[in-house]
Structure 1
Amino acid sequence: MSMNWDDLRVFLAVARTESLSGAGRQLKIDPATVGRRIARLEEGLGVSLFAKSPQGYELTRDGGRLLAHAEAAEQAVSLGQDDLSGDGDERLKGVIRIGAPDGCANYVLPRVMARIAEDHPDLEMQIIAQPRLFNMSKREVDLFVSVSPPTSGRLLVQKITDYHLSLAAMRWYLEQHAEIAGLGDLQEHKLVGYVSDLIFDKELDYLEETGASEADYTSNSVSVQLNMIRAGLGLGVVHDFCLPFVPEMIRVLPQELRLKRAFYLVRHADDRKVERLSRFADVFCRRMRDEVDKLEREA
Protein backbone atom coordinates (compact mmCIF):
# COMPACT_ATOMS: atom_id res chain seq x y z
CA MET A 1 0.00 0.00 0.00
CA SER A 2 1.25 3.50 -0.79
CA MET A 3 0.74 5.99 2.05
CA ASN A 4 0.01 9.66 1.48
CA TRP A 5 0.77 12.58 3.77
CA ASP A 6 -2.90 13.09 4.69
CA ASP A 7 -3.09 9.55 6.10
CA LEU A 8 0.09 10.06 8.10
CA ARG A 9 -1.14 13.45 9.35
CA VAL A 10 -4.29 11.78 10.76
CA PHE A 11 -2.20 8.98 12.26
CA LEU A 12 0.10 11.49 13.98
CA ALA A 13 -2.83 13.44 15.41
CA VAL A 14 -4.35 10.30 16.98
CA ALA A 15 -0.95 9.16 18.29
CA ARG A 16 -0.34 12.53 19.96
CA THR A 17 -3.81 13.20 21.36
CA GLU A 18 -4.58 9.53 22.09
CA SER A 19 -8.18 10.01 21.01
CA LEU A 20 -10.31 10.37 17.88
CA SER A 21 -12.04 13.46 19.26
CA GLY A 22 -8.73 15.14 20.15
CA ALA A 23 -7.36 14.40 16.71
CA GLY A 24 -10.57 15.69 15.14
CA ARG A 25 -10.30 19.00 17.00
CA GLN A 26 -6.67 19.35 15.99
CA LEU A 27 -7.37 18.59 12.34
CA LYS A 28 -10.78 20.30 12.30
CA ILE A 29 -12.56 17.21 10.99
CA ASP A 30 -15.27 14.96 12.42
CA PRO A 31 -14.02 12.25 14.86
CA ALA A 32 -15.94 9.63 12.88
CA THR A 33 -13.97 10.62 9.80
CA VAL A 34 -10.76 10.27 11.80
CA GLY A 35 -11.82 6.77 12.82
CA ARG A 36 -12.57 5.78 9.23
CA ARG A 37 -9.22 7.14 8.04
CA ILE A 38 -7.35 5.15 10.68
CA ALA A 39 -9.32 1.99 9.88
CA ARG A 40 -8.53 2.45 6.17
CA LEU A 41 -4.84 2.93 6.95
CA GLU A 42 -4.74 -0.17 9.16
CA GLU A 43 -6.55 -2.22 6.53
CA GLY A 44 -4.16 -1.09 3.81
CA LEU A 45 -1.10 -1.88 5.92
CA GLY A 46 -2.52 -5.12 7.28
CA VAL A 47 -1.62 -4.26 10.90
CA SER A 48 -3.25 -2.73 13.97
CA LEU A 49 -1.79 0.69 14.74
CA PHE A 50 -3.76 1.44 17.92
CA ALA A 51 -5.17 -0.47 20.85
CA LYS A 52 -8.26 1.00 22.51
CA SER A 53 -7.93 1.26 26.30
CA PRO A 54 -9.69 3.16 29.13
CA GLN A 55 -6.99 5.82 28.74
CA GLY A 56 -7.66 6.23 25.01
CA TYR A 57 -5.90 5.10 21.85
CA GLU A 58 -2.46 3.60 22.59
CA LEU A 59 0.08 2.82 19.90
CA THR A 60 0.70 -0.85 19.25
CA ARG A 61 4.20 -2.15 18.46
CA ASP A 62 3.51 -1.65 14.74
CA GLY A 63 2.07 1.78 15.45
CA GLY A 64 5.24 2.74 17.29
CA ARG A 65 7.32 1.64 14.30
CA LEU A 66 5.20 3.75 11.95
CA LEU A 67 5.44 6.78 14.28
CA ALA A 68 9.14 7.29 13.58
CA HIS A 69 8.54 7.25 9.80
CA ALA A 70 5.52 9.54 10.10
CA GLU A 71 7.52 12.09 12.12
CA ALA A 72 10.31 11.98 9.54
CA ALA A 73 7.73 12.64 6.81
CA GLU A 74 6.31 15.52 8.86
CA GLN A 75 9.73 17.11 9.13
CA ALA A 76 10.34 16.64 5.39
CA VAL A 77 7.05 18.37 4.58
CA SER A 78 7.91 21.23 6.93
CA LEU A 79 11.37 21.63 5.41
CA GLY A 80 9.84 21.61 1.93
CA GLN A 81 7.38 24.34 2.89
CA ASP A 82 10.23 26.41 4.30
CA ASP A 83 12.25 25.97 1.13
CA LEU A 84 9.39 26.88 -1.20
CA SER A 85 8.43 29.92 0.87
CA GLY A 86 11.96 31.28 0.70
CA ASP A 87 11.04 33.80 -1.96
CA GLY A 88 12.96 36.75 -0.54
CA ASP A 89 10.17 37.76 1.83
CA GLU A 90 11.70 37.86 5.31
CA ARG A 91 8.31 37.95 7.01
CA LEU A 92 7.19 34.87 8.90
CA LYS A 93 3.88 33.24 7.94
CA GLY A 94 1.65 30.38 8.99
CA VAL A 95 0.70 29.22 12.48
CA ILE A 96 3.03 28.88 15.45
CA ARG A 97 1.77 27.61 18.81
CA ILE A 98 3.65 28.67 21.96
CA GLY A 99 3.17 27.13 25.39
CA ALA A 100 4.02 28.99 28.58
CA PRO A 101 3.33 29.11 32.33
CA ASP A 102 0.30 31.29 32.94
CA GLY A 103 2.20 34.21 34.53
CA CYS A 104 4.41 34.59 31.49
CA ALA A 105 1.49 33.88 29.14
CA ASN A 106 -0.75 36.53 30.73
CA TYR A 107 1.62 39.38 31.44
CA VAL A 108 4.54 39.08 29.00
CA LEU A 109 3.57 37.13 25.89
CA PRO A 110 0.73 39.39 24.66
CA ARG A 111 3.21 42.29 24.56
CA VAL A 112 5.80 40.08 22.85
CA MET A 113 3.22 38.95 20.28
CA ALA A 114 2.21 42.54 19.57
CA ARG A 115 5.82 43.49 18.80
CA ILE A 116 6.34 40.45 16.57
CA ALA A 117 3.05 41.06 14.74
CA GLU A 118 4.23 44.53 13.72
CA ASP A 119 6.95 42.97 11.57
CA HIS A 120 5.15 39.72 10.67
CA PRO A 121 1.45 40.54 10.12
CA ASP A 122 0.74 37.25 8.32
CA LEU A 123 1.98 35.11 11.20
CA GLU A 124 -0.74 33.53 13.36
CA MET A 125 0.50 33.05 16.93
CA GLN A 126 -1.35 30.90 19.44
CA ILE A 127 -0.59 31.06 23.17
CA ILE A 128 -1.33 27.97 25.28
CA ALA A 129 -1.24 28.93 28.97
CA GLN A 130 -0.83 25.89 31.18
CA PRO A 131 0.56 25.55 34.73
CA ARG A 132 2.47 22.39 33.75
CA LEU A 133 5.18 21.05 31.45
CA PHE A 134 4.38 20.41 27.80
CA ASN A 135 4.87 17.11 25.98
CA MET A 136 6.92 17.84 22.87
CA SER A 137 6.82 14.22 21.64
CA LYS A 138 3.06 14.68 21.24
CA ARG A 139 3.61 18.06 19.56
CA GLU A 140 1.22 19.84 21.91
CA VAL A 141 2.99 23.06 20.94
CA ASP A 142 5.72 24.11 18.49
CA LEU A 143 7.84 25.50 21.32
CA PHE A 144 7.35 26.42 24.95
CA VAL A 145 8.71 28.63 27.67
CA SER A 146 10.02 26.81 30.74
CA VAL A 147 11.26 28.09 34.10
CA SER A 148 14.01 25.48 34.22
CA PRO A 149 15.96 23.71 31.45
CA PRO A 150 14.62 20.18 30.78
CA THR A 151 17.24 17.51 31.36
CA SER A 152 15.70 14.64 29.41
CA GLY A 153 14.13 14.10 26.01
CA ARG A 154 15.24 15.04 22.50
CA LEU A 155 14.96 18.79 22.96
CA LEU A 156 16.64 22.02 21.94
CA VAL A 157 16.94 24.37 24.91
CA GLN A 158 18.13 27.98 24.94
CA LYS A 159 18.07 30.48 27.76
CA ILE A 160 15.86 33.49 27.04
CA THR A 161 16.45 35.83 29.97
CA ASP A 162 16.61 36.17 33.74
CA TYR A 163 13.63 37.61 35.62
CA HIS A 164 12.97 38.61 39.22
CA LEU A 165 10.30 38.10 41.88
CA SER A 166 9.57 40.08 45.03
CA LEU A 167 7.44 39.81 48.12
CA ALA A 168 4.51 42.15 47.52
CA ALA A 169 1.21 43.39 48.94
CA MET A 170 -1.35 46.10 48.32
CA ARG A 171 -0.40 49.49 49.74
CA TRP A 172 -3.70 49.78 51.61
CA TYR A 173 -3.25 46.29 53.08
CA LEU A 174 0.12 47.28 54.57
CA GLU A 175 -1.39 50.43 56.08
CA GLN A 176 -4.13 48.40 57.83
CA HIS A 177 -2.05 45.51 59.18
CA ALA A 178 0.92 44.91 61.46
CA GLU A 179 4.20 46.51 60.44
CA ILE A 180 6.70 44.35 58.56
CA ALA A 181 10.27 45.25 59.50
CA GLY A 182 11.83 41.89 58.69
CA LEU A 183 11.03 38.38 57.44
CA GLY A 184 10.25 37.33 61.00
CA ASP A 185 7.22 39.64 61.02
CA LEU A 186 5.57 37.63 58.24
CA GLN A 187 4.22 35.18 60.81
CA GLU A 188 1.71 37.88 61.76
CA HIS A 189 0.33 37.93 58.21
CA LYS A 190 -1.45 35.60 55.80
CA LEU A 191 0.54 34.39 52.79
CA VAL A 192 -0.58 33.64 49.24
CA GLY A 193 1.22 30.98 47.21
CA TYR A 194 1.10 27.81 45.14
CA VAL A 195 -0.88 24.68 46.02
CA SER A 196 2.12 22.68 47.23
CA ASP A 197 1.27 19.35 45.59
CA LEU A 198 0.58 21.05 42.25
CA ILE A 199 3.97 22.75 41.92
CA PHE A 200 5.18 21.33 38.60
CA ASP A 201 8.70 22.79 38.73
CA LYS A 202 11.02 23.17 41.73
CA GLU A 203 11.86 26.72 40.60
CA LEU A 204 8.29 27.74 41.53
CA ASP A 205 8.68 26.77 45.20
CA TYR A 206 9.28 30.21 46.74
CA LEU A 207 7.88 29.81 50.26
CA GLU A 208 11.03 28.40 51.82
CA GLU A 209 12.84 31.64 51.04
CA THR A 210 10.26 33.63 53.01
CA GLY A 211 10.80 31.45 56.07
CA ALA A 212 7.20 30.16 55.96
CA SER A 213 6.35 26.45 55.81
CA GLU A 214 3.08 26.85 53.92
CA ALA A 215 0.76 29.44 52.40
CA ASP A 216 -2.67 30.28 53.81
CA TYR A 217 -4.38 30.91 50.46
CA THR A 218 -3.24 28.96 47.43
CA SER A 219 -3.75 28.47 43.70
CA ASN A 220 -1.88 26.73 40.89
CA SER A 221 -2.28 29.93 38.83
CA VAL A 222 -0.04 32.99 39.04
CA SER A 223 -2.91 35.18 37.87
CA VAL A 224 -5.22 33.91 40.60
CA GLN A 225 -2.52 34.41 43.23
CA LEU A 226 -2.02 37.98 42.02
CA ASN A 227 -5.74 38.65 42.34
CA MET A 228 -5.79 37.11 45.82
CA ILE A 229 -3.11 39.59 46.89
CA ARG A 230 -4.98 42.39 45.11
CA ALA A 231 -8.11 41.48 47.11
CA GLY A 232 -6.18 41.92 50.36
CA LEU A 233 -5.94 38.29 51.43
CA GLY A 234 -2.28 38.75 52.33
CA LEU A 235 1.22 38.96 50.90
CA GLY A 236 2.82 36.80 48.25
CA VAL A 237 5.82 36.38 46.00
CA VAL A 238 5.05 38.15 42.73
CA HIS A 239 6.86 38.40 39.40
CA ASP A 240 8.31 41.90 39.06
CA PHE A 241 6.97 42.01 35.50
CA CYS A 242 3.43 41.74 36.92
CA LEU A 243 3.73 44.78 39.19
CA PRO A 244 3.14 47.47 36.51
CA PHE A 245 -0.31 45.95 35.91
CA VAL A 246 -1.34 46.57 39.55
CA PRO A 247 -0.13 50.10 40.46
CA GLU A 248 -1.14 49.91 44.15
CA MET A 249 0.80 46.66 44.67
CA ILE A 250 4.25 47.36 46.08
CA ARG A 251 7.36 45.41 47.03
CA VAL A 252 7.84 44.43 50.67
CA LEU A 253 11.34 44.04 52.18
CA PRO A 254 13.01 44.41 48.75
CA GLN A 255 16.48 44.43 50.32
CA GLU A 256 15.88 41.13 52.11
CA LEU A 257 13.92 39.15 49.55
CA ARG A 258 14.29 39.43 45.78
CA LEU A 259 14.48 36.17 43.85
CA LYS A 260 16.06 35.55 40.47
CA ARG A 261 14.86 32.90 38.04
CA ALA A 262 15.19 32.35 34.28
CA PHE A 263 13.03 31.57 31.26
CA TYR A 264 14.15 28.95 28.71
CA LEU A 265 12.81 28.29 25.22
CA VAL A 266 12.29 24.60 24.45
CA ARG A 267 11.81 22.98 21.04
CA HIS A 268 11.81 19.45 19.68
CA ALA A 269 15.27 18.40 18.48
CA ASP A 270 13.86 17.36 15.09
CA ASP A 271 12.96 21.01 14.44
CA ARG A 272 16.60 22.08 14.35
CA LYS A 273 16.49 22.22 10.55
CA VAL A 274 13.09 23.93 10.32
CA GLU A 275 14.23 27.39 9.28
CA ARG A 276 10.90 29.09 10.01
CA LEU A 277 10.87 27.92 13.64
CA SER A 278 14.54 28.81 14.10
CA ARG A 279 13.92 32.33 12.81
CA PHE A 280 10.87 32.67 15.04
CA ALA A 281 12.84 31.45 18.07
CA ASP A 282 15.47 34.15 17.50
CA VAL A 283 12.86 36.89 17.16
CA PHE A 284 10.85 35.58 20.09
CA CYS A 285 13.81 35.44 22.49
CA ARG A 286 14.91 38.96 21.56
CA ARG A 287 11.42 40.36 22.12
CA MET A 288 11.02 38.43 25.39
CA ARG A 289 14.24 39.92 26.76
CA ASP A 290 13.12 43.42 25.75
CA GLU A 291 9.66 43.13 27.32
CA VAL A 292 10.77 41.52 30.59
CA ASP A 293 13.45 44.20 31.00
CA LYS A 294 11.00 46.99 30.20
CA LEU A 295 8.31 45.73 32.61
CA GLU A 296 10.80 45.22 35.44
CA ARG A 297 12.10 48.77 34.99
CA GLU A 298 8.51 50.05 35.21
CA ALA A 299 7.82 48.08 38.43
Structure 2
Amino acid sequence: MVDYKYKLSIIIPMYNAEKYIGICLDSILDSDLLKEEYEIVIVNDGSKDKSPEIAQNYAAKYSNITYLSQENQGQSTARNYGIKTCQGEYVWCVDADDTVSSQVKHVLDILSQYPKLDILSTWLKVVTEDNVLVRTGGADNIYNKLISGREAVISGYAPGSVCGLLIRKDFILSNELFFYPNLTHQDVELSFRAFAYAKKVYFLDETIYNYVLHSNSVTQSLTKRKKYIIDNIKIYESFVSLYLNFEKTDIELSNAIRKYNQKALFGLVFSLWKNRNEWKELGINKEVLSILEDKGLYPLRGNFYSIKKNLFVKFLNIKSLLVN
Protein backbone atom coordinates (compact mmCIF):
# COMPACT_ATOMS: atom_id res chain seq x y z
CA MET A 1 0.00 0.00 0.00
CA VAL A 2 1.37 3.40 -1.02
CA ASP A 3 1.82 5.97 1.74
CA TYR A 4 0.75 9.18 0.02
CA LYS A 5 2.10 12.52 1.21
CA TYR A 6 -1.14 14.39 0.47
CA LYS A 7 -4.83 13.62 0.49
CA LEU A 8 -5.33 15.45 -2.81
CA SER A 9 -3.24 16.26 -5.87
CA ILE A 10 -4.54 19.02 -8.11
CA ILE A 11 -3.20 18.53 -11.64
CA ILE A 12 -3.10 21.63 -13.87
CA PRO A 13 -2.00 21.24 -17.50
CA MET A 14 -0.89 24.61 -18.81
CA TYR A 15 -0.42 25.94 -22.33
CA ASN A 16 -0.09 29.69 -23.05
CA ALA A 17 -2.22 30.57 -20.02
CA GLU A 18 -0.46 33.72 -18.85
CA LYS A 19 -3.80 35.56 -18.51
CA TYR A 20 -5.37 32.92 -16.32
CA ILE A 21 -2.87 30.72 -14.44
CA GLY A 22 -2.38 33.20 -11.59
CA ILE A 23 -6.13 33.55 -11.09
CA CYS A 24 -6.52 29.77 -11.13
CA LEU A 25 -3.76 29.21 -8.59
CA ASP A 26 -4.99 31.99 -6.31
CA SER A 27 -8.47 30.45 -6.22
CA ILE A 28 -6.98 27.19 -4.95
CA LEU A 29 -4.57 28.81 -2.48
CA ASP A 30 -7.34 31.08 -1.14
CA SER A 31 -9.77 28.20 -0.64
CA ASP A 32 -10.38 26.56 2.75
CA LEU A 33 -8.06 23.65 1.90
CA LEU A 34 -5.25 23.26 4.42
CA LYS A 35 -1.77 23.49 2.91
CA GLU A 36 -0.71 20.13 4.32
CA GLU A 37 -3.73 18.38 2.76
CA TYR A 38 -3.01 19.01 -0.90
CA GLU A 39 -0.44 19.69 -3.58
CA ILE A 40 -0.68 21.48 -6.91
CA VAL A 41 1.16 19.95 -9.86
CA ILE A 42 1.50 22.33 -12.80
CA VAL A 43 2.52 20.72 -16.09
CA ASN A 44 3.72 23.23 -18.66
CA ASP A 45 2.87 21.83 -22.09
CA GLY A 46 5.41 23.77 -24.13
CA SER A 47 3.99 27.24 -23.52
CA LYS A 48 5.41 30.12 -25.57
CA ASP A 49 4.13 32.97 -23.41
CA LYS A 50 4.98 34.10 -19.86
CA SER A 51 2.91 31.43 -18.10
CA PRO A 52 5.97 29.25 -17.24
CA GLU A 53 7.61 32.21 -15.48
CA ILE A 54 4.42 32.93 -13.54
CA ALA A 55 3.97 29.28 -12.55
CA GLN A 56 7.61 28.90 -11.47
CA ASN A 57 7.29 31.97 -9.25
CA TYR A 58 4.35 30.34 -7.49
CA ALA A 59 6.28 27.07 -7.14
CA ALA A 60 9.21 28.94 -5.57
CA LYS A 61 6.88 30.62 -3.09
CA TYR A 62 4.72 27.65 -2.05
CA SER A 63 6.23 24.32 -0.99
CA ASN A 64 3.11 22.37 -2.01
CA ILE A 65 3.32 23.52 -5.65
CA THR A 66 5.39 21.50 -8.13
CA TYR A 67 6.28 22.79 -11.58
CA LEU A 68 6.90 20.29 -14.39
CA SER A 69 7.55 20.92 -18.06
CA GLN A 70 7.35 18.97 -21.31
CA GLU A 71 7.45 19.67 -25.03
CA ASN A 72 4.03 20.47 -26.46
CA GLN A 73 2.15 17.16 -26.62
CA GLY A 74 -1.36 18.18 -25.68
CA GLN A 75 -3.51 18.33 -22.58
CA SER A 76 -3.97 14.55 -22.33
CA THR A 77 -0.24 13.84 -22.12
CA ALA A 78 0.29 16.72 -19.69
CA ARG A 79 -2.45 15.40 -17.41
CA ASN A 80 -1.00 11.88 -17.55
CA TYR A 81 2.44 13.22 -16.65
CA GLY A 82 1.02 15.01 -13.63
CA ILE A 83 -0.99 11.99 -12.49
CA LYS A 84 2.00 9.64 -12.69
CA THR A 85 4.26 11.94 -10.69
CA CYS A 86 1.84 13.34 -8.10
CA GLN A 87 1.95 12.36 -4.42
CA GLY A 88 -1.73 12.59 -3.51
CA GLU A 89 -4.16 9.79 -2.67
CA TYR A 90 -6.78 11.44 -4.89
CA VAL A 91 -6.39 13.26 -8.20
CA TRP A 92 -8.36 16.31 -9.31
CA CYS A 93 -7.79 17.74 -12.81
CA VAL A 94 -8.20 21.51 -12.99
CA ASP A 95 -7.78 23.52 -16.19
CA ALA A 96 -5.45 26.53 -16.09
CA ASP A 97 -8.14 28.97 -17.25
CA ASP A 98 -10.76 27.90 -14.67
CA THR A 99 -11.13 28.41 -10.92
CA VAL A 100 -12.28 26.43 -7.89
CA SER A 101 -14.76 27.27 -5.16
CA SER A 102 -13.63 28.82 -1.89
CA GLN A 103 -15.33 25.95 -0.05
CA VAL A 104 -13.59 22.68 -0.92
CA LYS A 105 -12.43 21.15 2.37
CA HIS A 106 -15.73 19.35 3.08
CA VAL A 107 -15.07 17.25 -0.03
CA LEU A 108 -11.97 15.84 1.63
CA ASP A 109 -14.12 15.00 4.66
CA ILE A 110 -16.29 12.85 2.40
CA LEU A 111 -13.21 11.09 1.04
CA SER A 112 -12.17 10.30 4.60
CA GLN A 113 -15.70 9.17 5.48
CA TYR A 114 -15.69 6.61 2.65
CA PRO A 115 -12.28 4.85 2.55
CA LYS A 116 -11.27 3.43 -0.83
CA LEU A 117 -13.86 5.55 -2.64
CA ASP A 118 -12.90 5.28 -6.31
CA ILE A 119 -14.65 8.39 -7.63
CA LEU A 120 -16.28 11.41 -6.02
CA SER A 121 -18.44 13.27 -8.54
CA THR A 122 -19.40 16.92 -8.00
CA TRP A 123 -21.24 19.58 -9.96
CA LEU A 124 -19.68 22.26 -12.17
CA LYS A 125 -20.64 25.91 -12.27
CA VAL A 126 -20.38 27.64 -15.66
CA VAL A 127 -19.58 31.34 -15.26
CA THR A 128 -18.49 34.27 -17.40
CA GLU A 129 -15.15 36.03 -16.96
CA ASP A 130 -17.03 38.51 -14.74
CA ASN A 131 -18.20 35.60 -12.56
CA VAL A 132 -21.81 35.82 -13.73
CA LEU A 133 -23.53 32.45 -13.38
CA VAL A 134 -24.57 30.91 -16.71
CA ARG A 135 -25.66 27.51 -15.46
CA THR A 136 -24.73 24.64 -13.19
CA GLY A 137 -24.41 21.07 -14.31
CA GLY A 138 -23.51 17.61 -13.15
CA ALA A 139 -24.35 13.96 -13.47
CA ASP A 140 -28.04 13.22 -13.07
CA ASN A 141 -27.73 10.31 -10.65
CA ILE A 142 -28.43 9.34 -7.06
CA TYR A 143 -26.95 12.01 -4.80
CA ASN A 144 -25.33 11.78 -1.39
CA LYS A 145 -25.32 8.01 -1.47
CA LEU A 146 -22.59 5.44 -2.01
CA ILE A 147 -23.17 3.28 -5.10
CA SER A 148 -21.06 1.37 -7.61
CA GLY A 149 -19.92 2.76 -10.93
CA ARG A 150 -21.80 -0.12 -12.54
CA GLU A 151 -25.05 1.08 -10.95
CA ALA A 152 -24.36 4.61 -12.16
CA VAL A 153 -23.79 3.54 -15.77
CA ILE A 154 -26.83 1.25 -15.83
CA SER A 155 -29.01 4.00 -14.34
CA GLY A 156 -28.02 6.35 -17.17
CA TYR A 157 -24.81 8.11 -16.14
CA ALA A 158 -23.78 10.50 -18.93
CA PRO A 159 -19.99 11.13 -19.02
CA GLY A 160 -18.72 14.68 -18.89
CA SER A 161 -15.85 16.81 -17.66
CA VAL A 162 -13.29 15.15 -15.38
CA CYS A 163 -12.89 18.51 -13.65
CA GLY A 164 -15.92 17.55 -11.58
CA LEU A 165 -14.34 14.27 -10.50
CA LEU A 166 -11.91 13.40 -7.72
CA ILE A 167 -10.44 9.99 -8.55
CA ARG A 168 -8.34 7.70 -6.34
CA LYS A 169 -4.83 7.38 -7.76
CA ASP A 170 -4.47 3.67 -6.92
CA PHE A 171 -7.71 3.06 -8.84
CA ILE A 172 -6.31 4.97 -11.83
CA LEU A 173 -3.06 3.02 -11.83
CA SER A 174 -4.59 -0.44 -11.31
CA ASN A 175 -7.01 0.05 -14.22
CA GLU A 176 -4.64 2.09 -16.43
CA LEU A 177 -7.12 4.95 -16.57
CA PHE A 178 -4.99 7.45 -18.42
CA PHE A 179 -6.14 9.97 -20.99
CA TYR A 180 -5.87 9.00 -24.63
CA PRO A 181 -3.50 11.44 -26.38
CA ASN A 182 -4.68 14.13 -28.80
CA LEU A 183 -8.41 13.70 -28.15
CA THR A 184 -10.42 16.93 -28.20
CA HIS A 185 -13.13 15.50 -25.97
CA GLN A 186 -10.87 13.33 -23.82
CA ASP A 187 -12.92 13.82 -20.63
CA VAL A 188 -15.97 11.95 -21.94
CA GLU A 189 -13.91 8.91 -22.90
CA LEU A 190 -11.98 8.74 -19.64
CA SER A 191 -14.87 9.42 -17.27
CA PHE A 192 -17.13 6.75 -18.82
CA ARG A 193 -14.32 4.20 -18.77
CA ALA A 194 -13.56 5.03 -15.13
CA PHE A 195 -17.16 4.68 -13.97
CA ALA A 196 -17.50 1.31 -15.71
CA TYR A 197 -14.66 -0.07 -13.55
CA ALA A 198 -15.37 1.77 -10.30
CA LYS A 199 -16.53 -0.23 -7.29
CA LYS A 200 -17.40 2.74 -5.08
CA VAL A 201 -18.64 6.13 -6.33
CA TYR A 202 -20.34 9.01 -4.58
CA PHE A 203 -22.35 11.74 -6.29
CA LEU A 204 -22.26 15.01 -4.38
CA ASP A 205 -24.90 17.61 -5.24
CA GLU A 206 -22.56 20.52 -4.56
CA THR A 207 -20.40 22.70 -6.80
CA ILE A 208 -16.66 23.09 -6.18
CA TYR A 209 -15.47 23.92 -9.71
CA ASN A 210 -15.99 27.00 -11.89
CA TYR A 211 -15.79 26.48 -15.64
CA VAL A 212 -15.04 29.95 -16.99
CA LEU A 213 -16.37 30.94 -20.40
CA HIS A 214 -13.68 33.06 -22.00
CA SER A 215 -14.27 35.24 -25.04
CA ASN A 216 -11.86 33.16 -27.12
CA SER A 217 -13.61 29.89 -26.24
CA VAL A 218 -17.18 30.79 -27.14
CA THR A 219 -16.90 30.31 -30.88
CA GLN A 220 -15.40 27.35 -32.67
CA SER A 221 -14.10 27.32 -36.22
CA LEU A 222 -15.32 24.70 -38.67
CA THR A 223 -11.79 23.31 -38.83
CA LYS A 224 -11.82 22.69 -35.07
CA ARG A 225 -15.34 21.32 -35.35
CA LYS A 226 -14.08 18.83 -37.92
CA LYS A 227 -11.38 17.52 -35.57
CA TYR A 228 -13.91 17.43 -32.74
CA ILE A 229 -16.22 15.20 -34.78
CA ILE A 230 -13.43 12.90 -35.95
CA ASP A 231 -12.18 12.59 -32.37
CA ASN A 232 -15.67 11.54 -31.32
CA ILE A 233 -15.33 8.54 -33.62
CA LYS A 234 -12.26 7.46 -31.64
CA ILE A 235 -14.33 7.75 -28.47
CA TYR A 236 -17.10 5.58 -29.95
CA GLU A 237 -14.48 2.99 -30.85
CA SER A 238 -13.27 3.04 -27.26
CA PHE A 239 -16.81 2.49 -26.00
CA VAL A 240 -17.26 -0.45 -28.37
CA SER A 241 -14.13 -2.03 -26.88
CA LEU A 242 -15.47 -1.25 -23.42
CA TYR A 243 -18.83 -2.96 -23.84
CA LEU A 244 -17.23 -5.92 -25.59
CA ASN A 245 -14.86 -6.25 -22.64
CA PHE A 246 -17.82 -6.68 -20.28
CA GLU A 247 -19.95 -8.76 -22.65
CA LYS A 248 -19.04 -12.15 -21.11
CA THR A 249 -18.76 -11.05 -17.48
CA ASP A 250 -21.54 -8.47 -17.04
CA ILE A 251 -24.07 -8.39 -19.87
CA GLU A 252 -26.26 -5.77 -18.17
CA LEU A 253 -23.36 -3.33 -17.88
CA SER A 254 -22.24 -4.18 -21.42
CA ASN A 255 -25.71 -3.43 -22.79
CA ALA A 256 -25.88 -0.12 -20.90
CA ILE A 257 -22.57 1.01 -22.44
CA ARG A 258 -23.72 -0.19 -25.86
CA LYS A 259 -26.98 1.75 -25.49
CA TYR A 260 -25.15 4.98 -24.66
CA ASN A 261 -22.77 4.49 -27.57
CA GLN A 262 -25.58 3.77 -30.03
CA LYS A 263 -27.37 6.97 -29.02
CA ALA A 264 -24.15 8.98 -29.35
CA LEU A 265 -23.40 7.48 -32.76
CA PHE A 266 -26.93 8.26 -33.95
CA GLY A 267 -26.46 11.86 -32.75
CA LEU A 268 -23.25 12.19 -34.76
CA VAL A 269 -24.75 10.97 -38.03
CA PHE A 270 -27.87 13.06 -37.44
CA SER A 271 -25.66 16.15 -37.02
CA LEU A 272 -24.03 15.36 -40.39
CA TRP A 273 -27.45 15.45 -42.02
CA LYS A 274 -28.60 18.53 -40.11
CA ASN A 275 -25.46 20.57 -40.93
CA ARG A 276 -24.79 19.11 -44.40
CA ASN A 277 -25.05 22.45 -46.20
CA GLU A 278 -22.84 24.37 -43.76
CA TRP A 279 -20.18 21.65 -43.58
CA LYS A 280 -20.13 20.86 -47.31
CA GLU A 281 -17.38 23.35 -48.18
CA LEU A 282 -14.87 21.72 -45.85
CA GLY A 283 -15.87 18.25 -46.92
CA ILE A 284 -16.63 17.30 -43.32
CA ASN A 285 -19.48 14.91 -44.11
CA LYS A 286 -17.61 13.04 -46.81
CA GLU A 287 -14.49 12.55 -44.67
CA VAL A 288 -16.38 11.62 -41.50
CA LEU A 289 -18.58 9.10 -43.28
CA SER A 290 -15.52 7.57 -44.92
CA ILE A 291 -13.90 7.09 -41.50
CA LEU A 292 -17.12 5.67 -40.04
CA GLU A 293 -17.31 3.18 -42.92
CA ASP A 294 -13.70 2.12 -42.41
CA LYS A 295 -14.40 1.54 -38.71
CA GLY A 296 -17.57 -0.44 -39.45
CA LEU A 297 -19.75 2.18 -37.77
CA TYR A 298 -21.65 3.21 -40.90
CA PRO A 299 -24.19 2.37 -42.22
CA LEU A 300 -25.81 2.51 -38.78
CA ARG A 301 -26.78 -0.90 -37.43
CA GLY A 302 -28.56 -2.35 -34.42
CA ASN A 303 -31.13 -1.02 -32.00
CA PHE A 304 -31.31 2.70 -31.29
CA TYR A 305 -33.85 2.31 -28.47
CA SER A 306 -36.56 4.45 -30.04
CA ILE A 307 -39.16 3.65 -32.69
CA LYS A 308 -38.64 7.05 -34.33
CA LYS A 309 -34.85 6.69 -34.33
CA ASN A 310 -34.96 3.15 -35.68
CA LEU A 311 -37.14 4.38 -38.56
CA PHE A 312 -35.02 7.48 -39.17
CA VAL A 313 -31.86 5.36 -39.34
CA LYS A 314 -33.06 4.01 -42.68
CA PHE A 315 -33.08 7.60 -43.96
CA LEU A 316 -29.67 8.44 -42.44
CA ASN A 317 -28.18 5.33 -44.06
CA ILE A 318 -28.79 6.82 -47.50
CA LYS A 319 -25.31 8.23 -47.89
CA SER A 320 -26.12 10.48 -50.85
CA LEU A 321 -28.51 12.48 -48.63
CA LEU A 322 -25.66 13.36 -46.28
CA VAL A 323 -22.93 14.29 -48.73
CA ASN A 324 -24.81 16.10 -51.51
TM-score in same-fold range (> 0.5): no
Looking at CA atoms only, which structure, 1 or 2, has the larger radius of gyration? Answer: 1
Normalised TM-score (structure 1): 0.29
Normalised TM-score (structure 2): 0.27
